[in-house]
Chains A and B, each alone.
Chain A
Amino acid sequence: MSKCLITNNIRRLRFMANEMTQQDLANKTGVTRQTIVAIENGKYSPTLELSFRIAYVFDEPLSEIFSYDYADDPILKKTQKP
């Protein structure tokens, strides 16, 4: 299993949003609670559609929710930035 390079702030954002439960977020984004758990634990990278839905629920831009570890990306390591 390759290391997940995408990290997220969903747990923190849920806490800030009146301690929203995982089930509440799951209901609002149309997935199961287990999927929210997997995303928070870095075991699943959501599709763009689900990512945008999560961003919509928290009223935040995607970049505030998800971040990408460019330094550890094996493909980007091989390529040079222009």
Chain B
Amino acid sequence: MKEPLSFQEKQNIVSLVNTILILGLYSLYVYQKYLTADPTLINNLKFWGQAFLMLIPITIVVQVIIHIVFVIINKIVTNEDAPNFTDERDKMIDLKALRASHWVFILGFFLAMGSQAIDMQPYIMFFILIASGFAAGIVSDVAKIYFYRKGI
């Protein structure tokens, strides 16, 4: 018999969808608002710095709001309370997922530096850094879902 999804599995699926939506919508917003108006911005380091810095608080705020909404909806639908602490298994799964995501980001970092070593445009480096951060987030969520489902 197939086991129902645990709270943690559902939470990580929501987080995965969030990560994809936030970066997708933010990239679309930045592209349409700034890059279509002034294509020369693509090689402007100040523009990329500001885009990066804005992405961090937006991600945190949206994740917190979606988490609260998820806990409320989950409580209404399943009458299941959110665990109010993380135990040894949660910590072990977090560590394993963090390790996987770090490897992905480190790979992206080296690729980004490599792009500059072979004289590519600066925007390529920022693209790779954002993409690797995004991939690292996805790998972290997918790894957690995998470990919660399959066991560690």
Where the two chains meet, the residues of A that have a C-beta atom closer than 8 Å to any C-beta of B are 1, 4, 30-32, 34-35, 37-38, 41-44, 46-47, 49-50
Is the CB of B6 closer than 8 A to any CB of chain A? yes
Question: Do A44 and B89 contact each other (CB < 8 Å), given the known contacts A1-B151, A4-B151, A34-B8?
Answer: yes
Per the CB 8 Å criterion, the residue count for chain B at the interface is 14
A39–B117 alpha-carbon span in the complex (Å):
50
Q: Which residue of A lies closest to B6 (CB)?
A: A34
Which of B3, B87, B150 touches A35 (beta carbons < 8 Å)?
Answer: B87
CB distance from B85 to the nearest CB of A (A): 8
Where the two chains meet, the residues of B that have a C-beta atom closer than 8 Å to any C-beta of A are 3, 6-8, 83, 85, 87-90, 148, 150-152
B152 touches A30 (CB 8 A): no
Other than the given A32-B90, A34-B8, A43-B152, 10 more pairs (CB < 8 A) read A31-B87, A32-B85, A32-B89, A34-B7, A35-B89, A35-B90, A37-B3, A38-B89, A42-B151, A44-B151
